Amino acid sequence: MSHDLLPGVTGVLALADGTIIQGLGAGAEGDAVGEVCFNTAMSGYQEILTDPSYMAQIVAFTFPHIGNVGTNSDDVEQVSGAAETAARGAIFRDVPTDPANWRANSDLDGWLKRRGVIALAGIDTRALTKAIREKGMPHGVIAHSPKGEFDLEALVAKARAWSGLEGLDLAKDATCLQPFEWDEGLYSWPDGYAWMNGEDARYNVVVVDYGVKRNILRALASIGARISVVPADTTAEDILAREPDGVLLSNGPGDPAATGKYAVPEIRRLVASGTPVFGICLGHQMLALALGARTVKMEQGHHGANHPVKDLTTGKVEIVSMNHGFTVDRDSLPANVEETHVSLFDGTNAGLAVKDAPVFSVQHHPEASPGPTDSLYLFQRFAALMDGRK
């Protein structure tokens, strides 16, 4: 293998097929291995890079201007786990600029350094995106060396040796270590995030944390929920002992079949209890597994805040936020489960509901962050199911 580094190169992306993409390093120094995906959102890079669903992934941003608004303490989506339980790398077309936003309290480069996230800038992200669309999400190693010193053969070998996301239970690392309560609601100008008084709550909701985002919890709190967040391996018996009006199965990283080895039996018990259940993203996939369906790995996945999804129960088309590399095989849905949402990009399943139980789920992120709020009504749909149970 022979690659000549161009003058001034301080960052590279080494792919398992031997491709070397050269550019300018940013963020932390060193190297990190992961699955390379692209995200088409035009805003919200901080929320994307702190979403635990991106654990073990390197995110290439198709929008060219990343870093312009800096970073701040409010836009972190991660609730549990260390920085390593979110995106491991970031790829930009342009070198991040100094921030120009009143909310910023740090520039992007310094923030990435503190989180240990390696970045690569100054590359043709259109070409990389096209390659992913045509060949699927590759295994890669992103590396940053201010001195421009890289062992390219070793980096390619590391990319080839990585096992990939299939078969990986990453939720065990992204989840909380012990139960906790949540009482912060959605953001509103100019007051900021609302504090919800648990004594006035209408619902008692348990959230099973597979890598939950803050804004899922905020959206739940804003419908009047008193929220208890519990670790991914919590038993149905312990969850039901909290006497919940409803249970939410959160988003998270990794292969749903791998996490499902311990989560699916508990989800089945929750469904059998008659308690309203709402699944989001990974929670949607594992609910499908619990109901008897299958999940499969996607070639390029869905990552962005501009995905059209149709709600088949209302006929409404929504623009939603998505972030997943696995999907539910719609042909495997059992007779008592109906498909409620479908992606208008590729026709894949985006939602389901049990016909004879207060149980439903969606593949997309109704809380967005980043993204439109077209699907926030799903939290009200969950509230209606809890009202019906009461």
Q: Answer yes or no: 318 catalytic.
A: no
**Catalytic residue (one of 139, 176, 281, 364):** 281
Q: Is 63 exposed, middle or buried (0-12, 13-18, 19+ CB in 10 A)?
A: middle
The label of the residue with tokens 């972030």 reads 323
Q: Catalytic residue, from 284, 303, 341, 365: name it.
A: 365
Give one DSSP letter per residue of 160-189, joined into a string. Answer: HH---STT---HHHHS-SS-EEE-EEEEET
Other residues' Cβ atoms within 10 Å of the Cβ of residue 26: 24
Give per-residue burial for 185-207: e unless 16+ CB within 10 Å, then b. bbeeeeeebeebeeeebebbbbb
Within 10 angstroms of residue 298's Cβ, the number of other Cβ atoms is 16
365 tagged catalytic: yes
Indicate if 367 belongs to the active site.
yes
Q: What are phi and psi of 335, to 5 degrees?
A: -65, -30
User: What is the DSSP code string of 250-312?
Assistant: ---SS-HHHHHHHHHHHHHHHHHTT--EEEETHHHHHHHHHHT--EEEEEEEEEEEEEEEEET
Catalogue the active-site residues: 281, 365, 367
